[in-house]
Structure 1
Amino acid sequence: MDTSNLTSLPEDTLEDNEQRAPQQPRPLSAFASRPDRPPTQTSSQKYSALDWKGFFDQEEDIRIPDSDDVFHVYTAGTEGPVVFCLHGGGYSG
């Protein structure tokens, strides 16, 4: 490789180093310290039951004629899109 057209880099002098602002030491890793986290909750606090009245207007059991099938239904509003959620749809026992 021909290095005749390359120039050398200037060397740092003591004056240059004194004029520069001191650098903060960087942590060795992003995982070197744990981030602040809010207090934890127990699973019973996280997953406690919510009252259906805060989300729906009406609760009723729909019985299918000539059958033992009963569907527990919650409804809200009287117009707009219909959202149908079936919990336990794969249960056959």
Structure 2
Amino acid sequence: MKTHQLTQHIFSVGVICLLIASAFFFLIWYTQYLRFEFNALGRYYDLENQIVYTDAGFVWCLPAFGLLFTAIGLVTVRYRRHRKKSSNECCA
């Protein structure tokens, strides 16, 4: 019962939304950047579609990591507050 309250308090709707948004941006980053093998000039040429991709797709990692670190920060702060609160109740 106590574990359920802990996970309910730490993993709120906001944290879950941040993790989902981070996963979405990681997916975009993968489709726009990581799946290609760029040459030394930072370009990838798609023979089938006749398109040249540049290595500017790394920009999608910024919101992905930003949202992920924000979610981790929220979970850490909430866990520490919960631990501090439970230790104060235990000793009082």
TM range (shorter): under 0.3
More strand by share: 1
User: What is the TM-score with the length of structure 2 in the denominator?
Assistant: 0.19
Higher relative contact order (CA 8 A, sep 6+): 2
The structure with the larger Rg is 1
More helix by share: 2
TM-score by length of 1: 0.18
